[in-house]
Amino acid sequence: MNAPVQLDHAEIAATTPLDKLDVSDPALFRDDVWYPYFRRLRRDAPVHYCAESMFGPYWSITTYKDIVQAELAHKVFSSDSSLGGITIRDRQKDLRLPMFIAMDPPRHDEQRKAVQPIVAPGNLAKLEHIIRARVCEILDELPRNETFNWVDKVSIELTVSMLATLFDLPQEDRRKLSYWSDCATALPMPGGIIENEAQREAAFAEMLAYFTTLWNARVNAEPRPDLVSMLAHAPATRDMSPREFMGNLVLLIVGGNDTTRNSISGGMLFLNQFPEEYAKLRANPALIETMVPEIIRYQTPLSHMRRTATADVEFAGQKIRAGDKVVMWYISGNRDDTAIEEPDRFIIDRPRPRQHLSFGFGIHRCVGNRLAEMQLKILWEEILKRFDRIEVVGPEQRVYSTFVHGITELPVRIPG
Residues that bind ligand HEM (CB under 6 A): 71, 100-101, 112, 166, 251-252, 255-256, 259-260, 263, 296, 301-302, 305, 358-362, 364-368, 371-372
Least gap, CB of 340 to ligand HEM (angstroms): 16
Q: Which is nearer to ligand HEM, 251 or 327 (CB)?
A: 251
Selection from 381, 124, 368, 386 nearest residue 261 by Cα: 368
407-409 and 397-398 beta bridge pairing: antiparallel
Q: Which is nearer to ligand HEM, 10 or 214 (CB)?
A: 214
DSSP bridge pairs for 60: 48, 327
Q: Which is nearer to ligand HEM, 291 or 305 (CB)?
A: 305
Contact 281, 288 (CB under 8 A): yes
Count Cα neighbours of 27 within 13 Å in the Cβ-side half-sphere: 5
Q: Which is nearer to ligand HEM, 320 or 414 (CB)?
A: 320
Please state, as a whole number, how many other Cβ atoms lie within 10 Å of the Cβ of residue 192.
13
Please state, as a whole number, how many other Cβ atoms lie within 10 Å of the Cβ of residue 123.
15
Least gap, CB of 103 to ligand HEM (angstroms): 8
Least gap, CB of 191 to ligand HEM (angstroms): 28
Q: Which is nearer to ligand HEM, 21 or 291 (CB)?
A: 291
Least gap, CB of 258 to ligand HEM (angstroms): 8
Contact 326, 59 (CB under 8 A): yes
387 residue type, one letter: F
Least gap, CB of 268 to ligand HEM (angstroms): 14
Contact 135, 158 (CB under 8 A): yes
Contact 249, 203 (CB under 8 A): no
- Sign, CA torsion 230/239/257/181: positive
Q: Which is nearer to ligand HEM, 237 or 414 (CB)?
A: 237
Q: First-to-last CA distance in the chain?
A: 41
Q: Which is nearer to ligand HEM, 37 or 167 (CB)?
A: 167
Alpha carbons 227 and 243: distance in angstroms, whole number: 17
Selection from 80, 26, 92 nearest residue 53 by Cα: 26
Least gap, CB of 365 to ligand HEM (angstroms): 5
Contact 277, 270 (CB under 8 A): yes
Least gap, CB of 17 to ligand HEM (angstroms): 31
Least gap, CB of 359 to ligand HEM (angstroms): 5
Q: Which is nearer to ligand HEM, 55 or 100 (CB)?
A: 100
